[in-house]
Amino acid sequence: MSEKRTIGVIGAGSFGSAIANLLAENNKVLLYERSESVREAILRDGKNRNHVMHGDIEVTGSLEEVASRCYLIFPVVPSQYFKSMIMEFSPWLRPDHILIHATKGFHCEFDIDTMKPEDLKLKQIKTMSELIREETCVVRVGCLAGPNLAAELAEHQPAATVIASRFDEVIHEGQHAMRSDRFQVYGNRDLLGIELAGVLKNYVALASGALSGLGYGENARALLITRGMGEMIYIGKALGADKRSFLGMAGIGDLIATCSSPKSRNYSVGYRVAKGEKLEDVLASMTEVAEGIRTLKIGKLIVDHTHANAPLLQIMNKVFFDGFDFDKAIKMLMRVHVAADAEYLDI
């Protein structure tokens, strides 16, 4: 049998570790981790962030080594660090590399706390695939998104994801690398739509966690998820995405998972804040990033600029950043008039 190829993963957080383990079922994996102490702990213990690391995973602190040994690479880095990482990585990347990122967040070329909607230019808000194309010579770019809670992947539970790209070979390479008996991989050509689906579900998950923290039940959550998906479609359409991308695994699939599970970081943040903890204390206690907080702020700028229909996003901004009462927010949302069910499918 031919020797297994080596695939790169950038970032050894919880989700990066899960991706590395999935890839290692079919390939050898070179996992980049900046921290020397984390690398040493993985080598010593064979574990990282509650993941038992596969024997075919090798750890490195060199981006140059990843670029030289791997042509298929999965960057899994929080959005606020993604640009600095890709700029550092850029000198060693080649046009023949394939990059499939798994980051569910936006990059902004401005201070999100001081930007005014009337001054905003949408091109200042970038997806991770746009950053890769702008900062590197890599052309074949994709993203991975879906209902992929890292804690469940660590338990080897069955799951599925979507790999999106404008290039068929990116989808095929990603599917070949990741698909297994426990992990199904679907393809999609709407790269922007799949990226936006993965990002926008974050703020709905915050709201869902808050709903649970207040003691509301599954009827209310079903309402929240359904109307939240409608908002995601409105915002996605305003940014040029295909609404069908929000109706599949990376849209409604990911939305259901992250809005229903305490294992979701965004759900947990919403739950704890609704229980009375201060947002800054909750965030300070977390070892990994909850992208929903940035998504709320950036999403509000997008909605105010494009006038997309997103009352949940607007009210959650008031709750998390202006001290607005949760119960009053829910009552306000219940009074929002909607002419027909699933009207967002007609836009």
Burial class (CB in 10 A: 0-12, 13-18, 19+), 187: middle
- CA atoms within 13 A of residue 161's CA, in its CB half-sphere: 28
**Closest to 36 measured CA to CA, from 18, 62, 70:** 62
Tokens of 150: 């890292």
Q: Which of 201, 237, 243, 297 is catalytic?
A: 201
232 close to 204: Cβ distance less than 8 angstroms:
yes
CA distances (Å), origin 174, targets 16, 71, 72, 254, 340: 15, 12, 8, 19, 39
Bridge partners (DSSP) of residue 9 are 31, 74
For 163, the 3-state DSSP assignment is strand
Give the C-alpha separation, 331 to 265, whole Å.
25
Q: Which two tokens mark 72?
A: 């298929």
201 is catalytic: yes
Query: DSSP state, 249?
Result: I
Query: Which residues are known to be catalytic?
Result: 201
